[in-house]
Structure formats: structure tokens, C-alpha cells
Structure 1
Amino acid sequence: MNDLETPVSGHEESPKKKKPALAAFLNFIVPGLGYVYAGNIKRGVIAYFLLILVAVISIRFVAYTFTLFLVGIGLIIAFYVYLIVSGYRAVGKAKHQETKRWDVWYVYVLVIAAQVGLRPFLQSIHSLGYLSPITPVVIPTPAMDPTLQIGDHLMFHKTKTIARNNIIVFKWPPDQKIMYIKRCVGMPGDTLSIRKAAVFVNGDSLTGDYMLKYRYAVQTDGVRIQQRVLDQFGIAESEFYDVGSGSYSMFLTQEQARQVRGLPFIKFVEREMTSEDELEPDVYPQTGSGQWNKDNFGPLYLPKKGDRIPLTHRNLALYGTCLKYENESVELLDSAAIINGKQIDTYAFKDNYYFMMGDNRHNSLDSRYWGFVAESMVLGKALYFYWSKDWDRIGTSIR
């Protein structure tokens, strides 16, 4: 009698049913991940890079005005909404499939973690910074206050075409890996001087529709000034210092000085000024003995491309840094220079040079301290605020 083959009882495990809400959520966390969850890897990859492309093009290449910036943000939000809705629907349309080896919860967690880790890189994308004409920056110091305040977010346009009084982003000459932002007060070919903190260009007083800040000495009748009192005048905590015995040092606009002067317990508010005969060795050109100070400076000629000068002892003190910017090997002598192994006694400039100053004139490290900004160091011109703690400033043009 032959043994009969015994049939195996039971059934095959059916595929797990996907959850539409989870697909929508995954598309929200990582664009395209919901499609991968639904079984469409190709669509997920395309969605991920398409959103990045939309964000980059709309913000980095198109947003020359705040209106265009808002249009770009609107496109990004609309695309996200589409991803969420279509991710939900993708699961409903997908056929039940066998669970893939990678289709487990911890793989999705790892992908989300990788996205979080990559976010700083994706937000900056330094390589795109060299390609895109529009770049966002954040203000870290009060040097341009009140025009630019700490925490302001703004866009700047990469251009070499700038004019006097434009607010310019540039590479800081002492360390060109660092970006600075200041107001351009001197152009190539100008002769600039500062007298009693007032800037003169080619003999004329520099004017503009912007406010400046200076350091003021403030004395009370002994009453301690509370921050809540200064808040009503827009004076930040970082803008005043208690020096004791009711005395304060404050960085104020002319209007703020008037408001503080009107407080009943204030004895006097006086603008501080460095006298003409008080020399500051840390002010350019830093020859050791000091020639000028922050409130009395120049006259100083700003070279333009093609200008030729004799290399006198004084000219080397003033323009020696320019020679070093423009050449690989420079040795400065008393009244000559050795450039790339050849001694010369006259020099023709290869670049244009600018003079930059902060609007917070007594609280700004600028050209008064480190000299000229070469045109090759200029990155671009400030356009508008896209975010600020002061909501009234959002969307306004920068002047």
C-alpha cells in the first residue's frame, strides 16, 4: 500500500494593508517618502528633487522683490499640499504588494533622521551660493543699526554694480572667508574725509534718507534707568551700558537722544566725540603712531582701476594693503615694493576700491579700521527684508 502525500494545511500571509494617512504624513516629513511607502520609489525620488528645485528656483533665482518672494513661498506651500493629498491617494490606488525587505518602520525612521541631518546643508547649499543671483543673510550685530537690526533676515542680489549709499554685502578684507554688510560711502576715484563724525566726499557733506546712531553720555539724578523705559524708545538692552553713579553710555539716533533727554530724571544727554588731536593707533592705516581717529579721518583717496601712484613712504602706508590684495608676492620697502620678485617705485591699481561704514557709527568695525574694500571682494547689494522681529519692516526695501 502506497503512502499518500499529505497536503499541507494553512494559507499564505497576505500583504499588509498600507495606511493612506501615514503616506500623507511621510510626504509631509520628507517629500516623496509617502510615495515610496506606497510602493512607487521612482515617483518618490522625483518628488523629492522636484520640491528642492522649485524652492531653489523660486527663492534663489526669481525673488528679486518681496512680492516674487511671496509667490515663491506660495508655490512651495502649494506643492507641499499636493504632496500630502496625492500621498494619501497613492495608497488607495496602489495594489497590494508583498512587503519588501526594506519596507520596515526603522528604514523610514533612518530616512527621516537623515533628512533632519541634511537640513542645514539643504538650507544653505553653499555650492548654489556661487550660482544663484539671490542669497539670504541674517544680521548678527548692531553695526548697521537702526537700518539693519540684530536678527533681521534679508535678501541680497549678487552684483558688482553699486552706487554710493547702497548697503553692500562683501568679503571682510582681513579674512575673506567672513561676510560683512555695510553702507558704501566712498566710490572709486572719490576723496573721503570725516570731520567731527560727519562724512565728506569730494568736499561735499554726504547725505541720505537714513538714520545714524552715535554714542551718547547720559547722566541721571541718581535714578537707575529701567529697560522697560528704554523699550518704549526702541533702545535694546545691548545698546546701553551702566557705567555707575547714574551714568550711562548709549548708542542712540538723534530722535532717541531727544526722547531720553525728555525723561524727568535725566540731567543731560551729550553726544560723545573724539577730538581731532586724539589719535587712535587701531584706526587705519595703523602705522603704530596713529594718524586719525574714528570721528576725524582722512582725507583719503580711493583708488580706481588704472590709477598709477608713486610708491612713497606715505603711499605705501595707505595703499600697501591694496598691493597685497592684487598680487601673490609683495614685500613693502621704505619707498618701493618688490612684487613677484621685481622691485618697482610706481604702481598701477588693478581693481576698484570702496569705503564702507556702519550706520551705528560708534559701534561699527568698518573701513575706518581695516581700510579699502576691493571690487573683487564685493558680493552684492541688499534688496529687502523677508523676516524681522518688527513686523512693519517685513517686505520693505533696504536703503
Structure 2
Amino acid sequence: MTMIQWFIFFLIIQVIHFLGTWKLYIKAGRKAWEAIVPVYNAIVLMKIINRPKWWVILLFIPIINLLMFPVIWIETIRSFGKNSRLDTVLVVLTLGFYIYVVNYVYDVTYVEDRSLKSRSELGEWISSIVFAIVAATLVHTYIMQPYTIPTSSLEKSLLIGDFLFVSKFHYGARVPMTVVAAPMVHDSLPLTKLRSYLKKPQLPYFRIPGFEKIKRNEIVVFNWPVDTVRFFFDKSNIHIDKPIDKKSNYVKRCVGIPGDSLEIKDGYIYINGKQTVLPDRAKTQYLHKVVTNGQLSATLLNRYNVTEGSFYGDYYMLNLTDENAAKLKNNPLVKSITKQITPSGNYNKAVFPHSPLYPWSGDNFGPIYIPEAGKTVELNSKSLPFYKRIIEVYENNNLTVNGNEIFINGKLATTYTFKQDYYWMMGDNRHNSEDARYWGYVPFDHVVGKPVFIWFSWDTNGQGIANKIRWERVFTTVHGSGKPVSYLYYFLGALALWFVYSFFRKRKKEEG
């Protein structure tokens, strides 16, 4: 839906609200016209139902408002004496239209000083649960979201089984575009595998201003731009059209930012002609063919920090950093080590931009330009493979090609100006990462947030509970330099102090 369509929809809602409540406003001692003035009518309604004015803000926050509307409906009818369980069920099941019956059919009286306390323990319990969900959804959607690392594409920096907190406010929280969706879940409902959202209506893209921009080589969580799968690991059910904010969540390192020229030479990234220097925590890995005199023990492989590899009888294929490959080469059991780099000029059709005009591979790639909002590029048959998806899909234009002529929205085009920023996201595990080399640019409207904290880490291959928990990774930061430091004991100390403080505060209050 466009902004104009949403504005019209908003006005219709105001009319519906007015027609269903104007008599109730009068019975509460207000004026009938107060029920139709946008925003002001919500403020007045909060006074009528004896609830704080800041609740109005919650009514205009996407996703949160879906949780608040039933609460407001129930509070409204209870303010006019309709307190039975049947009344509550009816107002919820009719999506609030039961208020029309209360407004026009019943001769109700406004209860000005009604008690806000629930009449039963069940009601109190439900009320607490509802507002806990509202608070948690608010934090999850606009402040901080939990996230689990499912693959090894950022191995060494982030491990499979790391549980992260992803900040929404660093780059600016993206207002959910999918209006009707279950709170605190992504694209499917737990256990049922049912879709957790309705595709329509959709809000226009909007992002609350952040306090920093994405920096080169930062780790970023984003929605996979070319996602058409039903579930993250299920590639059998494809060609699913998903809203942007319900596409699968990916986490990669942003190796190129808007305006950069990026090239990959023999597996190494070059930005604007210079080889990029990754943070010291980033450990870039490549597949190596390791020919040996026999099998290498698990203890030896652990010594070289090998977490991925296969044995083929007379040689291994191991994922190694350059540093570990050099160390392993000196082992007397090793005959030779060869990094598996695809030479320049070997065309891989799976590699972006998927055109024989550019015979590139995942190891020798580019150079390419990373689009920047407001910048203009020439548009022709050679440049179109890079920008075709941007023009058609990410920036919603109608593009047609007739011979050597390119038409955008029916007009001949020789240049194109980008509407938003784009980024180049790659995994540190170079030969085991499905990243931008295979599907291209990531638009800024697909960016979810910045991972900032590892609050838990679980190793499924560990022996015993104690070894399955990676204690050294619990409560560590994602970014930064040097060896990660765990803040677990600081957290536990602060928690203990809080419990002691709460205990003595409660005791003092009881004595007083």
C-alpha cells in the first residue's frame, strides 16, 4: 500500500471509530465531535477508560498496535459496565464491532471510578501476560533481537550455536513492513510450520534514524535479498514470494560499503585498489588439499584449530587460515598443502552477475561498483547485468530491453540514479559461504541490525553438558579487537547485588 492509500485507510478507521463510540463519548461527559478527531480522540478515550495517555503511542507502533487494540476494546466496554466474560469474548471475536452494540443497543452508564484491578486471579494473570508480551515485542522489534548462528560462514568470528543479541538501534530500527504478523517470531509459527504473517497489507519502508552507519568489515544481520524458500534450510520448497522483513535472516561481514570498488584476487579482497585489512578477530579460511603420509589424529587437527574437513584416503580437504596452513605444512606427516583457488578467467555461472561477459569465480572476481544512493551510472548492455535486479526488484521499476535499448517505466534510459545504498556481504569461511558473490548486492532496506553480544554458545559436538557450553564465549562482545573477554561473572555479580538490594528494601518496607 502507498502512503496515500494508508492515509485513506487511516481516515476510514477514524470514521468507524466515530460511528461506534460517539454516544459513549457523550455518556462519559465528552463531546460527540471528540470521537472523530484523529489522535485527539485516542487521548480522550484514554481519559474515558482511565488509562495513561502514553498508551496512545502504542496504538501507532506497527505490530504493537495489533496487541493493544483488543486491550482497548475490552477496556472500553468495561468502562460502561460490560464486565462479563461473554462481553469480553464477543468484543474480541468481533474485532471490536461489539462496541457498536454497546453504543446503540444497550442503555449503558459510564463507570467513572471503576477499579482497574482484575476481578479474578485468572484475569490478573492474563493481564500480566499480555503486557509482558507487549513489552517483549517492543524490545524485540525496535531495540534488540535474539538471533542464533545456524551456519559456519563466519567460522572463528561467530560459531554455529552462538546465541546473539542484535541491536536494531545502531543503524536505525526498521519499522515492520508486514502489518499483520505474530509477535516475536519470524516467518513461521513454532512447531506448526504455518506462516506467521499475512502478506497484505504492507507498510511503506521506513527506518527510525540510527546513530551510526554500517562500517566496512562490520558483521551485519540482514534479510537474504533473493530468498524464495519456505524455510531457511528447506531448498525443496522454493519460489515463495516473501515480504522483505520476512525473508530469511543472514549474518555476514560487510566487506564493501556504498561507493566502493571491490575486487577479489586469489581469494583476497581489494577495496578501491588496496588489499583490505580485516579486524584481528576475523579469521579468513580457505579449502586446502592436504596430502599426508597417513591419517591425522583429531588431537592434531584440534591443535591447528581445524573445525571443518574431510578425508579421502590419501589426502584431506581442510578449511584452514593461511596461518594454520603454514604451521601444518611443517608437520612431518604432511607431504604438501595446496590452497584450492579457482584461477582467473574460469567462468562460474553461479557467480554474480551470472553473465558470460564476466568470466569470474568466487576466488577471482570483479572489479565491481557498489551502488550509493543518489549516484548515477551509465546503463548499457554491459552494465545492465549488475543493476537489473536493483532497478526491477529493489527499486520497483518496470524495465524492458529492446535490442540495445533499455526502457525504464516506458522511457528510454541511458543512465540510472540509485534510490538507496547497497552493501557487499561475505563470509570469512570463503569456500563455505553463500554470500554476495553468488547473489549480489544487499539493499539498505534489507538490513536488520548489528550483532553486539554473544549471551550463550552451545557446541553440539561437545562431550557432556559442561563441554557443550562454550563458557569462554558466554557474555562476550561480537566486535572489538583482541581476544574476546567474557563478562559473565560481572553480570552474575550485578545480579547478586540486585537481589540483595531488593531483599533489604522489601524487608525495610515491611518493618516500616
TM-score (ref. length: structure 1): 0.67
Alpha-carbon distance between aligned partners in 2 of 1:372 and 1:53, rounded to the nearest angstrom: 35
Distance in 2 between residues matched to 1:204 and 1:347, nearest whole Å: 28
In structure 1, the partner of 2:295 is 224
- The Cα of 1:369 is off from its aligned counterpart by 1.1
Equivalenced residue count is 288
Q: Which residue of 2 aligns with 1:215?
A: 287
User: 1:153, 1:321 → 2: CA distance?
Assistant: 33
Residues 325-372 of structure 1, C-alpha deviations (whole Å, 9 max, x = no match):
212432244544333333322211111111111011121111111111
1:165 paired to 2:217: yes
CA 308–53 in structure 1, closer or farther in 2 if over 3 Å, else same = closer
- C-alpha deviation, 1:264, in angstroms: 3.4
1:189 shift after superposition: 0.8
Percent same amino acid among aligned pairs?
Answer: 34
The equivalent position to 2:438 in structure 1, one of 362, 369, 374, is 369
| One-letter code aligned to 1:170 | F
**8 Å contact 1:384–1:398 — kept in the other structure?**
yes
CA distance in 2, matches of 1:333, 1:379: 37
| 1:140 maps to which of 143, 150, 155 | 150
Q: Check the 8 A contact 1:311/1:336 in 2, yes or no.
A: no
SS of the residue 2:284 aligns to: coil
Q: Does 1:183 align with 2:235?
A: no
- Give, in whole Å, the separation in 1 of the partners of 2:150 and 2:421: 28
Sort the Cα spacing of 1:299 and 1:385 in 2 relative to 1 into closer, same or farther, 3 A: same
Match of 1:345 in 2: 414
Query: 1:334–1:373: structure 2 CA closer, same or farther, 3 Å change rule?
Result: farther
User: Residue 276 of structure 2 is aligned with which of 206, 213, 223?
Assistant: 206
Find the residue that maps to 2:425 and give its secondary structure: strand
User: Could you tell me how far 1:170 is from its partner in structure 2?
Assistant: 1.0
Q: Distance in 2 between matches of 1:293 and 1:150?
A: 26
The amino acid of 1:216's aligned partner reads H
Mapping of 1:370-389 within 5 angstroms?
370-389=439-458
Structure 1 residue aligned with 2:44:
none
CA–CA separation in structure 1 for the residues paired with 2:223 and 2:284: 23
2:305 maps to 1:234: yes
Q: Residues 290 and 182 of structure 1: is their aligned pair in 2 closer, same or farther, counting only changes over 3 Å?
A: same
Residue of structure 1 equivalent to 2:352: 284
Separation in structure 1 between the aligned mates of residue 253 and residue 391 of structure 2, nearest angstrom: 24
Query: Do 1:257 and 1:269's aligned partners in 2 also have CA atoms closer than 8 Å?
Result: yes
Structure number with the higher strand fraction is 1
Query: What is the CA–CA distance in structure 1 between the aligned matches of 2:226 and 2:251, rounded to whole Å?
Result: 14
The answer as to whether partners of 2:346 and 2:359 remain within 8 angstroms in 1 is no
Q: Distance in 1 between matches of 2:410 and 2:419?
A: 18
- Structure 1: runs of 5+ lacking an equivalent: 1-35, 62-128
- On the 8 A contact 2:370/2:423 being kept in 1, the answer is yes
Partner of 1:18: none
Contact 1:320 1:332 in 2 (8 A): no
1:253-296 alpha-carbon deviations (Å, 9 max, x no partner): 23432443344322122222221132222111111465211111
Q: Report 1 or 2 for greater relative contact order, CA contacts < 8 Å, sequence distance ≥ 6.
A: 1
Query: Cα deviation per residue 1:156-212 (whole Å; 9 max; x = unaligned)?
Result: 112252111110111112125122111011111111111121111111211122211
Q: Check the 8 A contact 1:183/1:358 in 2, yes or no.
A: yes
Does the residue aligned with 1:369 lie in a helix, a strand or coil?
helix
Bigger shift: residues 367-376 or 44-53: 44-53
In 1, the alpha carbon distance for the partners of 2:224 and 2:401 equals 22
Quickly say closer, same or farther: Cα 1:225–1:333, change in 2 above 3 A. Answer: farther
1:20-31 to 2 correspondences below 5 Å: none
Residues 270 and 142 of structure 1, relative CA distance in 2, 3 Å threshold: same
> The residue matched to 2:312 in structure 1 has which SS?
strand
Letter of the aligned partner of 1:138 in structure 2?
T
Q: Which residue of 2 aligns with 1:109?
A: none
CA contact (8 A) 1:197 1:294 kept: yes
TM-align CA RMSD: 2.4
Instruction: Specify the SS of the correspondent of 2:391.
Output: helix
CA distance in 2, matches of 1:393, 1:258: 27
SS of the counterpart of 1:313?
coil
SS at match of 2:477: coil
